[in-house]
Amino acid sequence: MIVPEAPKEFRIDRALPPGRHPILRVFPGLGELPTAARLEPDPDQRGRLFRETEIALVENDVWMYVSPWEIPSTARGRWNPVLSPGTDCIVVGLDHLRESPALTLFMDIFHELRHLLQRHAGAQLFTNTSYVRRPTELEAYRFVIEEARAFGVPDEFLRDYLRVDWIDDAEYAELLRAMSVSAV
């Protein structure tokens, strides 16, 4: 499969060392992209989001997630997340940052930013609800899939994007249906 390009204005500093960095150091200009304005239409709130959000680059995590403020009950014994009590932090695996296609990183960072906005609005991100039925996940996936489709990303790529390690085949099929992505 040929991986479609991310928007040409999307930039990534793939050479940063492990540690915490301002989001705009890792993704320069991210807050100025049209997708950022659709994510948070209020310019003051959008500016605050991009000023206050950090990225924790880590060697031992492979994907991207919002850092919980405390260990979620669903994580006990299965997942050891990076915590950031009271701050907005998105954890990014170094290999993911350095090796994943730009489009995947574009979709992932906006997916996680949607989660931060959900948390700001009082939503619980880590619940016992099935991953593919969690309203927060469905909303975040819907947002990035709509964005990707707006610049012509085909279902073939979206199918691959939605195939995550922590769901089984039946859940994957359910997620495809929920996102209106064709199974073939």
Extents of the domains making up the chain: 19-178
Q: In 10 A of CB 5, how many CB atoms? A: 14
For position 109, what pLDDT does the model report?
A: 98
User: For the ranges 72-81, 116-125, 153-162, 163-172, which has the lowest average pLDDT?
Assistant: 72-81
Residue 72 has pLDDT above 90, yes or no: no
pLDDT in tens, 14-26: 999 999 999 999 9
Distance between CA atoms of residues 107 and 179, nearest Å? 14
User: Which positions ≥6 away from 13 have C-beta within 8 Å?
Assistant: 25, 26, 27, 28
CB atoms inside a 10 Å sphere around CB 146: 13
Q: What is the pLDDT of residues 80-134, one digit of tens each?
A: 888 899 899 999 999 999 999 999 999 999 999 999 999 999 999 988 888 888 9
| pLDDT of the residue at 61 | 64
Q: Of 71 and 36, which is predicted with more confidence?
A: 36
Task: Flag whether pLDDT at 76 surpasses 70.
Answer: no
- Average pLDDT score over the chain: 93
